[in-house]
Amino acid sequence: MSVQIGNIDLGEFPLLLAPMEDVSDPPFRYVCKQNGADMMYTEFISSEGLIRDAAKSRKKLDVFEYERPIGIQIFGSDIEHMREATEIASLAGPDLMDINYGCPVKQVACRGAGASLLQDIDKMVAMTKAVVEATHLPVTVKTRLGWDDNTKNVYEVAERLQDVGIKALTIHGRTRSQMYKGVADWSLIHAIKKNPRIKIPIFGNGDIDSPEKAAEWRMQFEVDGMMIGRAAIGYPWIFREIKHYFKTGEHLEKPTIAERIEVCKTHLEKSMEWKGPKTGIFEMRRHYSNYFKGVPDFKEYRMKLVTAATVEEIMDILAQVDKKYAFEMA
């Protein structure tokens, strides 16, 4: 059965790219879309930044036609400001708006935003209602199981947020206290899915890193789709690999060196296009080791790639990589 968010048809069992600060920008989203991500989100955007018209926040509003359906994710601690930020972000033309109630980092959660709203559900509900009322777009939410082991309140959160009009909920199977430690526990996500009161799509998130795990957790936890974050960093092929495995029960071939290079180049080109050559080249540096993870003795090339200052140098190094590994890795 097709998954619907408002009027958006996501097909059967969609795979979503997780919002990730400093990662899920348009260049990265481009390569994930090419490789099968069914829906994507921007990095989270500060409502305060949007209202102040801060350049960094405004830039994150950029969405492109090829990305659709795409959601803009916002966070904040002040209900009025979230309402205003929703109006501003909606004008950027996304397909939906998403609210972050999951971010655990101190600068966010200790300032009353992100996961901290899990400690004040009444406020979370009021904030969500304000966002829903401020836009003509469907609103979705991304959150965690609860604040800590003693307050895993996402079951109640799901019902109450559905009641004020959200159209889908993504749950990361960890509490705020866990940050990113331990193993994600999807059993509560399953319970919410089984709650007869819940009609909206429920997406599971946390620790999906292989086609087998995706298939197993799909069966076990009966979610409507999955959101994938870290496993896609430097490996956008995870989406197509999971889809292929679902369809055939067989593993798709791993990307060849030539494919890794090709995607890396595309990512770099898009990065330069969107950020300008200097920043584009600079910010691409954090991605090289991910794209070539597992390639033996890659260190020498990584060092060269992260110090290269021009696109010509980078292309030259990638050509050397191609030459060295094309046969070895075939």
Ligand X SMILES: Cc1cc2nc3c(=O)[nH]c(=O)nc-3n(C[C@H](O)[C@H](O)[C@H](O)COP(=O)(O)O)c2cc1C
Six-digit token pair at 15?
A: 């795979």
What number of chain residues touch ligand X (CB under 6 A)? Answer: 21
Tokens of 255: 């990307």
CB under 6 A: which stretch of 12-20, 85-93, 262-270, 310-318 binds ligand X? 12-20
Max Cα-Cα span within the chain: 60
Chosen residue from 4, 6, 21, 152 binding ligand X by CB under 6 A: 21
Contact 152, 146 (CB under 8 A): yes
Could you say whether residue 20 binds ligand X (CB under 6 A)? yes
Sole residue written with tokens 């959601």: 71
Q: How far apart are the C-alpha atoms of 101 and 141, rounded to whole Å?
A: 7
Decide if 264 is catalytic: no
Asked if residues 63 and 92 have their Cβ atoms less than 8 Å apart, the reply is yes
Q: How far is the CB of 23 from ligand X (least distance, A)?
A: 5
**138 vs 229 by CB, closer to ligand X:** 229
Whichever of 140 and 314 has its CB closer to ligand X, that residue is 140
Q: Per rule CB under 6 A, is residue 205 in the interface with ligand X?
A: yes
Which residue, 5 or 228, has its beta carbon nearer to ligand X? Answer: 228
Under the binding rule (CB under 6 A), the answer on residue 154 touching ligand X is no
* 143 is a contact residue toward ligand X (CB under 6 A): no
**Which of 32, 103, 110, 264 is flagged as catalytic?**
103
- Phi, psi torsion values for 301, nearest 5 degrees: -70, -35
Q: Closer CB to ligand X, residue 231 or residue 257? A: 231
3-state secondary structure at position 102: coil
How far apart are CB 113 and ligand X at their closest, in Å?
Answer: 11
Q: CA-CA distances (angstroms) from residue 161 to 45, 83, 99, 200, 308?
A: 21, 16, 11, 10, 49
Answer for which of 3, 5, 18, 118 binds ligand X (CB under 6 A) is 18
Q: Which 166-185 positions form the footprint of ligand X (CB under 6 A)?
A: 172
Written as six digits, the tokens of 167 are: 């159209």
Residues in 59-118 that interact with ligand X by CB under 6 A: 73, 100, 102-103
- Complex with ligand X: residue 117 or 318, whichever CB lies closer: 117
Contacts with ligand X in 29-58 (CB under 6 A)?
43-44
Give the angle subtended at the CA of 209 by the CAs of 205 and 210, to the nearest 5°.
120
x/- mask, ligand X, residues 213-242, rule CB under 6 A, reads ---------------xxxx-----------
Tokens of 94: 């996304």
For tokens 């959160």, the residue is 157
Closest distance of CB 106 from ligand X, Å: 14
Shortest distance in whole angstroms from residue 322 CB to ligand X = 29
- Residue closer to ligand X, measured from CB, 144 or 260: 144
270 exposure class (CB count in 10 Å sphere: 0-12, 13-18, 19+): buried
Least gap, CB of 242 to ligand X (angstroms): 12
Q: Which residue type occupies 35?
A: N
Distance CA 284, CA 226 (A): 27
Burial class (CB in 10 A: 0-12, 13-18, 19+), 54: middle
CB 98 to ligand X: min, Å: 8
Separation of alpha carbons 320 and 299, rounded Å: 13
Please give the residue ranges that form the binding site for ligand X (CB under 6 A): 18-21, 23, 43-44, 73, 100, 102-103, 142, 172, 205-208, 228-231
What residues act catalytically? 103
